[in-house]
Amino acid sequence: MHKLTDIDAPAAPQISFDQFLAVDIRIGTIVAAEPFPEARKPALKLVIDFGPAIGQKRSSAQITEHYETTSLVGRQVAAVVNFPPRQIGKFMSEVLTLGFPDKHGHVVLFKPDHEVPDGARVF
């Protein structure tokens, strides 16, 4: 997780558009959410549906400060779908769910203001 001091950091070095396109950011709908008590830092286990081309993927997300499992099902979120899976305890996290830190450093999920088709790619 980034530190609050990142807010004051300058922009990262410039990259090419092709480098940007290499990061596959998609919208999906959370279809299941449950506590992840085994995680070192408080987290939730999510199952996110990215539509027929990508399917359902699992994600560990440190979002317990602002979100409860019951309020997440049906919510659209953005995630990076082409990072290698990451083992977190006994859980395999397949995508990186995206968010921004609030003023206390707690994750606020990134989502579109209008519903879009699951699997839609950012551009």
Which CATH number covers residue 92? 2.40.50.140
Q: In angstroms, rounded to a whole number, what is the distance separating the alpha carbons of residues 31 and 75?
A: 8
Task: Judge contact between 20 and 11, C-beta under 8 A.
Answer: no
Task: Judge contact between 97 and 77, C-beta under 8 A.
Answer: yes
Q: In angstroms, rounded to a whole number, what is the distance separating the alpha carbons of residues 106 and 85?
A: 23
* In-domain check, residue 34: yes
Residue 35: domain span: 4-8+24-109
* In-domain check, residue 14: no
Task: Please tell me the predicted confidence (pLDDT) of residue 1.
Answer: 46
Ordered per-residue pLDDT tens for the chain, 123 residues? 445 557 778 999 999 999 999 999 999 999 999 999 888 888 999 999 999 999 999 999 999 999 999 999 999 999 999 999 999 988 999 999 999 999 999 999 998 999 999 999 998
CA atoms within 13 A of residue 34's CA, in its CB half-sphere = 7
Task: Please tell me the predicted confidence (pLDDT) of residue 57.
Answer: 98
Number of domains in the chain: 1
Task: Please tell me the predicted confidence (pLDDT) of residue 64.
Answer: 94
Q: Which amino acid is at 85?
A: P
Task: Please tell me the predicted confidence (pLDDT) of residue 5.
Answer: 54
β 76-80/56-61 pair status: unpaired
